[in-house]
Structure 1
């Protein structure tokens, strides 16, 4: 899992509590969302697309961290068709550890925005500090 591999990263995204896959923009755009109680509108935390024969993954990110990640990794660019401030696009070549941390951070940012009862229903413990 050293690079963006659709099936490997799809499995990671779907392993997050309450995560599911949707295709509201067509079959080539897999949107990963967090289900909500009482059938409220689900929240997106990832979007994976095949563009020009390459898999790209969009992930939500803290704006300050997003800038740092982009500066340190040429595979990370401002979010494609997303808010450039709050989303990054990851292209093949990023190391697995950084990719996993980015997926977890994206999930945490979205879950943190949910009401307390919904966070509790997901079994979410809160944002994890990473060193």
Structure 2
């Protein structure tokens, strides 16, 4: 998955929007005002920051050399994923889905329920 494919997948999540609060080189993907990913657009291979369950974050870092502690993020809850082609596309999609679901589950109950009605109950699970 390259930067363009990652961007399309991130923006394909229900109610996802793209913002640039840190300048034109870093896209911040949000759902209902909450960040679920960043995507660096400036370096050659690209990188994403994704929210992650702390135990899973450590496991992914052990399995994939291209997964490192979150750059400029809380390293317990965020991973930086280098888009160097070494991680299977299905696994990258799963990591994005997990990040998105963690953020959606943290939204107030009324918002979560409304999103589940509009987009289906699977919105809450990765």
- 2:3 maps to 6
Paired residue secondary structure (2:21): coil
Alignment of 1:1-131 (within 5 A): 3=1, 5-35=2-32, 42-50=33-41, 52-91=43-82, 92=84, 93-123=86-116, 125=121, 126-128=124-126
Q: C-alpha root-mean-square deviation of aligned residues, in Å?
A: 1.3
Q: CA deviation at 1:116?
A: 1.3
Normalising by structure 2, report the TM-score. Answer: 0.89
Bigger CA drift: 86-95 or 101-110?
Answer: 86-95
Q: CA deviation at 1:51?
A: 5.2
- Taking the aligned partners of 1:80 and 1:98, their CA distance within structure 2 comes to 20
Structure 1's unaligned 5+ residue stretches are: 36-41
Figure out how many residues of one structure are paired with residues of the other and give that number. Answer: 119
- 1:39 maps to none
Runs of 4+ residues over 3 Å off in structure 1: none
Normalising by structure 1, report the TM-score. Answer: 0.85
Q: CA deviation at 1:47?
A: 0.1
